[in-house]
Amino acid sequence: MTMNDVYNDYEEILDLLKQYIRQEQHDGVKIVKASSYKPEYELQEKSPVSKSEVLERLAEEVAQCRRCPLGKSRIKAVFGQGNPDADLMFVGEGPGYDEDRQGLPFVGRAGQLLTKIIEAIKMRREDVFITNIVKCHPMKDPTSPEKRGNDRPPDDEEAGICRPFLLAQIDIIKPKIICALGTYAAQTLLDTKQTIGRLRGRFYDFNGTKIMPTLHPASCLYQASNKKYVWVDMKMIRDELKKR
């Protein structure tokens, strides 16, 4: 596949997104206005660019983005990190205190555990791509970004406004499997309100990509017995990747 194909696919996914929004509006669902935002980079036909370069340009857009309220209080936007050709992508809910300061995903205690989880299936952190539903730190009290313990999940409007960036990342990287980490990421990607306990342990289809929801690593820090469920899900991911 050429980078032109990547851009064409990207255009298609934006069209699908617009159709989805029109249907939702028809069904009476309130749609946030920036969901139709289109990242601004353009294909240069005569100078094809690599996936890394496309991702870098998208990351520059994210770094400048202030489209939702999270952009006002964040310290650093957290685009994501990893292999542009990754077969496995992890998606969490949003950056926390440490991530906001470093501009990198999953670098706190939960992130260290995620690295161990990845290594448990004989992969390295640099083999996968790690990102979040929203790219800026959602805070309970945005006037106190210096406080620890000030994290909260994103709300649906913030997630909707940020969604084109995640869809673009998925379309560019084309992972074989997306592992949704925790309740909010799983519910948002799968458009459901079911609990993570009910969702985890099986694959779902997401526009041709498999999604495996599992527990957030932070939940394993609070309750060590949760690790056994994550291990079951990760073994399923490992076995599925081996088939391909």
- The reply on whether position 220 binds ligand SF4 by CB under 6 A is no
Among 3, 14, 68, 114, binds ligand SF4 (CB under 6 A): 68
Nearest distance, CB of residue 165 and ligand SF4, angstroms = 6
SS3 content of the chain, % helix, strand, coil (to 5): 50, 10, 40
Binding residues for ligand SF4 restricted to 33-52, rule: CB under 6 A: none
Cβ nearer to ligand SF4, comparing 18 with 66: 66
Q: What DSSP letter does each residue of 168-192 carry, written as one string?
A: HHHHHH--SEEEEESHHHHHHHHT-
Pick from 180, 153, 141: which is nearest to 96 by CA?
Answer: 153
Asked whether the beta carbons of 24 and 75 are under 8 A apart, the reply is no
- Region class of 174: left (phi > 0), else alpha (psi between -120 and 50), else beta: left
Among 33, 66, 202, 228, binds ligand SF4 (CB under 6 A): 66
Binding mask 159-188 for ligand SF4 (x = CB under 6 A): --xx--------------------------
Within 13 Å and on the Cβ side, how many CA atoms surround 236? 19
- The reply on whether position 59 binds ligand SF4 by CB under 6 A is no
Nearest distance, CB of residue 171 and ligand SF4, angstroms = 17
Using CB under 6 A as the binding criterion, the count of chain residues that bind ligand SF4 stands at 14
Nearest distance, CB of residue 200 and ligand SF4, angstroms = 26
Asked whether the beta carbons of 72 and 161 are under 8 A apart, the reply is no
As a whole number of Å, the CA-based R_g of the chain is 17
Positions touching ligand SF4 (CB under 6 A) are: 62, 65-68, 70-71, 77, 134-136, 158, 161-162
